[in-house]
């Protein structure tokens, strides 16, 4: 992996707006790569296989998991989601910057695999707002909604080991913060080694 | 000091454009405080006592240094520059964000005093460009210019322990990077403790 490449792992409970934030960042920085995840969940309207996800069957997913092909995988509402180890390694070996969008429970496995990764957690403005956003999402009954809310609260407890916390109170402001994290991390001394080496050679 | 306040210590060899970068940041973020340094150098045209520097005599400076009033002080081209420990402490105790603009040799003392500080080093695009910029600065003779250049090269060796490196190839780009460092550091988990505590209490 190139000294100067950044791997950002972004994670949030459902309903926090993480996907919208990432989309805006990819528009601003077309050179940042995105690791497309595998999932067993059916495509939603507008989703494209190979762009949004690799849509696979339970059997295919299980086989990949057993073969150790996933850097992380997690179950979410009965569906499986996994990050391909090979895809991540290929991007890293080319020295390209990369954003991984993963479930909070999957992120912890990546922390062990990529200790130099930059871990960003997106929070809703408060729990009331999260509740409202989860309600808007679907017409499920109260019990399912309550279970989703409890799950989101559990996921928020993971925040304690992340590097950066972005509160998504307003999309533009959250996007600017993720942009700042990316630009700042590019400036970290550890990633500026080629520049420093250049000066040391000259000086 | 408030958990969430940021102290940025910015440092660069002369001729790198650090002061212009800081000015632009202060315009963008009027709430960031600036610690006005003491100096024995005479005011340049347009400089205001108490805004750009506190202009003092050698005797006054020496007394302050002996009384331990400076968080750091250094000599530069025959003049003394010092950061008032009291001014810094007052700003920090109010939980306000602060930028300190210091000589590379002074920054190292601050690293010991404020280990939670964010240390930013501004580099010229390359040594040739630095030489050109130093030449433009004054009509001194070749020997003085060469001495300044050697001094700048010595200062650049300090870069190895800084947190962030900003190459000032274009002012707007360097300003955006310092802005990113500031915004990203505000998002660091250690500085988001009040937000996290709020969620933990609710959840």
Banded pLDDT at A3 (limits 50, 70, 90):
low
* H-only helix segments in chain B: 18-28, 58-66, 85-93, 104-113, 127-137, 142-156, 171-187, 193-202
Q: Does A156 touch chain B (CB under 8 A)?
A: yes
In a domain, B19, yes or no: yes
Percent of chain B residues topping a pLDDT of 70: 96
- Average pLDDT of the segment spanning A96-124: 92
pLDDT digits (tens, 9 = 90+) for A21-67: 999 999 999 999 998 999 999 999 999 999 989 999 999 999 999 99
Q: What is the CATH number of the domain that holds A122?
A: 3.40.50.300
Residues B121-150, buried b or exposed e (16+ Cβ, 10 A)?
Answer: bbbbeebeebbebbeeeeeeeeeebeebbe
Q: Average pLDDT, whole number, for chain B?
A: 91
- Average pLDDT of the segment spanning B66-94: 93
Range(s) of the domain holding residue B180 = 7-202
* Burial category of B90 from C-beta neighbours within 10 Å (exposed 0-12, middle 13-18, buried 19 and up): middle
Task: Choose among B153, B163, B187: nearest Cβ to A164.
Answer: B187
- Nearest-angstrom CA–CA distance, A70 and A82: 6
Q: Does B193 touch chain A (CB under 8 A)?
A: no
Q: Does B136 touch chain A (CB under 8 A)?
A: no
Of A89-98, A125-134, A190-199, B43-52, minimum mean pLDDT range: A125-134
ipTM score: 0.91
pTM of the model as a whole: 0.91
DSSP characters over A45-103: TT--BTTTEEE--HHHHHHHHHTT-EEEEEEETTEEEEEEHHHHHHHHHTT--EEEE--
Task: Choose among B157, B181, B203: nearest Cβ to A187.
Answer: B181
- CA separation (Å) from A165 to A113, A158, B193? 21, 11, 10
**Paired residues of B83 in beta bridges:** B72
In a domain, A2, yes or no: no
- Measure in Å the smallest separation between the Cα of B90 and chain A Cα atoms: 27
In a domain, A153, yes or no: yes
In a domain, A1, yes or no: no
Q: Does B183 touch chain A (CB under 8 A)?
A: yes
Task: Choose among B127, B188, B195: nearest Cβ to A163.
Answer: B188
In a domain, B123, yes or no: yes
- Measure in Å the smallest separation between the Cα of A186 and chain B Cα atoms: 9
Total domain count, chain A: 1
CB contact under 8 A, B184 and A189: no
- Nearest-angstrom CA–CA distance, B89 and B163: 22
In a domain, B193, yes or no: yes
pLDDT digits (tens, 9 = 90+) for A152-191: 888 999 999 999 999 999 999 999 999 999 999 999 999 9
Contact B181, B8 (CB under 8 A): yes
In a domain, B2, yes or no: no
Banded pLDDT at A137 (limits 50, 70, 90):
low
């Amino acid at each position: 992996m190139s000294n100067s490449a950044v791997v950002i792992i972004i994670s949030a409970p459902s309903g926090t707006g993480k996907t919208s934030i990432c989309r805006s960042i990819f528009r601003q920085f077309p050179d940042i790569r995105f690791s497309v995840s595998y999932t067993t969940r059916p495509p939603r309207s507008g989703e494209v296989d190979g762009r949004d996800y690799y849509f696979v069957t339970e059997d295919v997913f299980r086989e990949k998991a057993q073969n150790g092909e996933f850097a992380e995988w997690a179950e979410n509402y009965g569906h499986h989601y996994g990050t391909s180890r090979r895809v991540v390694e290929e991007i890293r070996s080319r020295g390209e910057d990369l954003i991984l969008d993963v479930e909070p429970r999957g992120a912890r496995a990546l922390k062990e695999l990529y200790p130099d990764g930059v871990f960003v957690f997106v929070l809703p403005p408060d729990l009331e707002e999260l509740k409202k956003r989860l309600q808007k999402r679907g017409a499920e009954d109260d019990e399912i909604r309550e279970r989703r809310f409890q799950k989101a609260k559990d996921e928020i407890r993971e925040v304690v080991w992340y590097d950066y916390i972005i509160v998504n109170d307003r999309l533009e402001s959250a996007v600017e913060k993720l942009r700042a994290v990316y630009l700042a991390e590019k400036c970290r001394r550890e990633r500026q080694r080629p520049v420093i080496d250049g000066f040391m050679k000259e000086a």
